[in-house]
Chains A and B, each alone.
Chain A
């Protein structure tokens, strides 16, 4: 087939549609984890992270974190240009060690929640959120 610009564009568009957006990961993200935990061992029980499987729109993604008995919960977006999202610190009058908010995700990636428990231990939960480009949503 003669390679016209039109045919190359069409093939390129086809490849993108077929393979979708690549998953993003940021090298600095794991550093942010280590900074919070001081390098301590991180368990996997005790913290839950609720996030949609597919984000309606990457600009506003509702999430919830909960870790009974935690002092603080750090939330990171492992594929954002800067991984930090929020750090929730619970005071004596917190009714539960949980919170909900809405966050921005730059692309498909893992969102991670790390809880620092009152006894000094750490726990980690992760949720993969797919973020897509819309159609011709303008």
Chain B
């Protein structure tokens, strides 16, 4: 597991049934591209988060395949429809096999 990887999510606490809401996500991760060299001239191996998903009550909102060109501390902003109260789950998949997760509950307004 990479060091100090913190996910953060901004989602509303409640929404009207069927409302479209804006979701923002950020995760602290160096996104080592595999292009850099260390002081001795050796290439630092790639180690990035290669996939991000968001689902609500199990149904996909968005699924992102990520490449090294995504900046350090990957940031995404997108929209989701909230048909009902429930849980929004977020996953980030690291090259090293770790999966970071975050869940936000959204109530009906």
Query: Which partner residue on chain B sits nearest A89 by CB separation?
Result: B63
Query: Which partner residue on chain A sits nearest B26 by CB separation?
Result: A102
The B-contacting residues of A in range 81-127, CB under 8 angstroms, are 81-82, 84-96, 98-105
With known contacts A84-B69, A96-B20, A101-B70, A91–B79 Cβ distance under 8 A: no
With known contacts A96-B20, A98-B79, A99-B78, A91–B62 Cβ distance under 8 A: yes
Q: Mark B38-75, 1 if CB is under 8 A from A, else 0.
A: 00000000000000000110011111111111111011
Q: Which residues of A contact B83 (CB under 8 A)?
A: 93
Query: Which partner residue on chain A sits nearest B57 by CB separation?
Result: A93
CA of A92 to CA of B75, assembled, Å? 22
From A86, A91, A100, A101, contact of B55 by CB (8 A): A91
Task: Report the minimum CB–CB distance from A106 to chain B (whole Å).
Answer: 8
- Could you count the A-B residue pairs with CB atoms below 8 Å apart for me: how many are there? 100
User: B77 near A91 (CB under 8 angstroms)?
Assistant: no
CB of A44 within 8 A of chain B?
Answer: no
Q: Which residues of B contact A48 (CB under 8 A)?
A: none
With known contacts A82-B67, A86-B64, A91-B61, A101–B75 Cβ distance under 8 A: yes
With known contacts A95-B21, A102-B70, A89–B64 Cβ distance under 8 A: yes
Give A residues with C-beta under 8 Å from B.
Answer: 59-61, 77, 80-82, 84-96, 98-105
Q: 26 pairs across A/B with beta carbons < 8 Å?
A: A59-B71, A80-B69, A86-B66, A86-B67, A88-B62, A88-B64, A89-B63, A90-B61, A91-B63, A92-B59, A93-B61, A94-B60, A94-B62, A94-B78, A94-B79, A95-B20, A95-B78, A95-B81, A98-B78, A99-B64, A101-B74, A102-B74, A103-B69, A103-B70, A104-B69, A105-B69
The 9 A-B pairs of least Cβ separation, nearest first, read A91-B60, A95-B79, A95-B20, A84-B67, A100-B77, A102-B71, A85-B69, A87-B65, A99-B78
Give B residues with C-beta under 8 Å from A.
Answer: 20-22, 33, 35, 55-56, 59-72, 74-81, 83
